[in-house]
Amino acid sequence: MPRWRIPLRAPVVLAAAGLLLAGCANPSTGSADDDPTKPVTIKFWHGWSASGEVEAINDSIARFEKLHPNIHVQSTGNVTDATLNQALRAGGDEAPDVVSSFTTNNVGQFCDSGMWADLDPFMKKTGLDKDKTFPKSLLDYTSYDGNQCALPLLADAFGMYYNKDAFKEAGITHPPKTMSEFVADSRKLTKRSGNTVKRVGFMPNFRFYQNSPDRLFAQWGPTYFDKDGTSRLAKEPASYEFFKTAKKLMDAQGGYNALERFRTSFGDEMSNQNAFLTGKVAMHLDGEWRGLMLNDDKAKFDWGVAPLPVPDDQVEKYGRGYLTGTVAGIAHSSKHQNAAWELLRYLTADTDQVVKFANAIHNVPSTKAALTSPKLDADPTFRTFLDIAKNKYSQVLPPSTNGGMYVVQLQDFSYTEEAGKVPNLKSGLQRLDKLIDADTLQSQN
């Protein structure tokens, strides 16, 4: 499925599948002794499945093969992390050479298990300076513990879509920049008929569409782990401010129960019954792809895009957002690693290729040069997300050896907390830290 269609709970499946990978102490050994100028066929596995996206990746491969006529690429799409991990465990001639994943949370497993090859030797050999080529935030989520086993292959940035007509009706002149403005505007934009909610300013419930708690939490710039790798959410001041703000958003619009009842009336996220598209939500956390969908569905109101608000004491960081994306690497078991590197380098670091691919599937480009290319889509709403991606304060999730399990645990805790079932937030966060640390320890054994 396309990256933006990954369900909110996908990390559960991926993290469980990752246990297959984490337990592999002796991955199949490949070879970097091949001559990339000789005729060879390599296999590339990726997760794209929508027709337009598959067409875009196939066009990318065709451009590569034109530049490298000796290298033939067999492309396989719609591949999940679970399938990929099983193939890498098995190794052999049927295993892929170049691999990709939509799940940045699993990079820690990919690197720590040894299943994805260290790319630093390839970059050194071919003169690719990763620090000059890729934004630091994207390098952060493609490496783990000093091992650069992946490179970014386009990115996603999250911001806020807002209904300009609803803003005008409510007398609001600009999108909120601070959390206090966010709460006040949400209250003004909420419409009721008696006890029934007709429209909310912002739906804060963590089960709603893209509202995984880590995405809004990023606006505080939290630190998830201490230097020794232990979870520190109970020690992180931002944790308390985040949940306090989430409750303020709830209370300003009728409370958890009313909002949860209203949420269950929403249509499917990817359909023409999307709650923002149908006017039931006036401000909406989402990624750069939503603009293209709003245009395709011919939204019946004027809409705009802005960065999500920041805490009142961090106004200078306004413009930040949550970043994630596709990652790609070379299978450790590949016996054609130099040829595989040629494909990987082209897909991730060639400026024209990155720009063409980004424009084709409406994702954020993942190199510094591509982000400033005049050939990029000039749509101003899309460029808002480019600015979020370039913002030095934007945040990515830290990699962990147990993949995205800590994000799943944060989600589960947040569902309970927003429902008012956590009597003491500090004690609850302390229990959450212990649970995350226990799972991390188990994945290392």
Query: Which helix (H) or strand (E) segment is 354 a member of?
Result: helix 351-361
Q: How confident is the model over 14-56, as pLDDT tens digits?
A: 344 444 444 444 456 788 899 999 999 999 999 999 888 999 9
- pLDDT at 92 > cutoff 90: no
pLDDT score of 97: 97
Could you tell me the two tokens for 277? Answer: 């598209």
Give me the DSSP letters along 182-238. HHHHHHHH-EEETTEEEEEEE---TTSTT--HHHHHGGG----B-TTS-B-TTT-HH
CA 358 to CA 356: how far, in whole Å? Answer: 6
Close Cβ partners of 221 (under 8 Å, ≥ 6 residues apart)? 238, 314, 317, 320, 393, 395
Name the pairing type of β-strands 196-202 and 40-45: unpaired
Q: What is the pLDDT of residue 23?
A: 43
Q: Which of 15-29, 124-138, 202-216, 313-327 has the lowest mean pLDDT?
A: 15-29
pLDDT of the residue at 12: 39
Going by DSSP bridges, is the β-strand pair 196-202/191-193 parallel, antiparallel, or unpaired? antiparallel
> Is the confidence at residue 7, as pLDDT, over 50?
no
The model's pLDDT over 264-295, given as tens digits with 9 standing for 90+, comes to 999 999 999 999 999 999 999 999 989 989 99
User: Does 3-156+323-390 match 160-321 in CATH topology?
Assistant: yes
Return the amino acid letter for 432: L
Amino acid code (one letter) for 86:
Q
Q: What percentage of residues in the chain have a pLDDT greater than 70? A: 93
30 or 75, which is more confident: 75
**CB-count exposure of residue 300 (10 Å: 0-12, 13-18, 19+):** exposed
Sign of CA dihedral 431, 432, 435, 441: negative
Contact status, residue 202 vs residue 275, Cβ threshold 8 Å: no
Q: In this model, does residue 195 exceed pLDDT 90?
A: no
Quote the CA–CA distance of 34 and 44 in Å, as a whole number: 17
Strand 322-330 versus strand 151-163 pairing type: antiparallel
pLDDT above 60 for 9: no
What's the DSSP call for residue 106? G
Number of Cβ within 10 Å of residue 296's Cβ equals 9
For residue 51, what is the enclosing H or E element? helix 51-67
pLDDT at position 90: 85
Whether pLDDT at 203 is above 60: yes
Whether 5 shows a pLDDT value over 80: the answer reads: no
Chain segment 387-439, per-residue pLDDT in tens = 999 999 999 998 888 778 999 999 999 999 999 999 999 999 999 999 999 98
- Per-residue pLDDT at 4: 41
Domain boundaries, the chain: 3-156+323-390, 160-321
Please check the confidence at residue 117 and state whether its pLDDT lies above 90: yes
Return the closest-CA partner of residue 177 out of 308, 59, 79, 295: 308
Burial of 256 (0-12, 13-18, 19+ CB in 10 A): middle
Q: Name residue 276's amino acid.
A: F
Q: What pLDDT is stored for residue 299 in this prediction?
A: 96
Other C-beta atoms closer than 10 Å to the C-beta of 445 total 6
Residue 179: is its pLDDT beyond 80?
Answer: yes
DSSP 3: G
What confidence tier does 158 reach under pLDDT thresholds 50, 70, 90?
very high
Q: Does domain 160-321 have CATH number 3.40.190.10?
A: yes
Closest CA to 282 of 158, 181, 186: 186
Secondary structure (3-state) at 320: coil
In the numeric block, which tokens belong to residue 413? 């805790």
Q: Which of 64-73, 112-121, 173-182, 309-318 has the lowest mean pLDDT?
A: 112-121
Contact 388, 138 (CB under 8 A): no
Q: If 0-12 CB within 10 Å is exposed, 13-18 middle and 19+ buried, where does residue 155 land?
A: buried
Q: What's the fold here for domain 3-156+323-390?
A: D-Maltodextrin-Binding Protein; domain 2 (3.40.190)
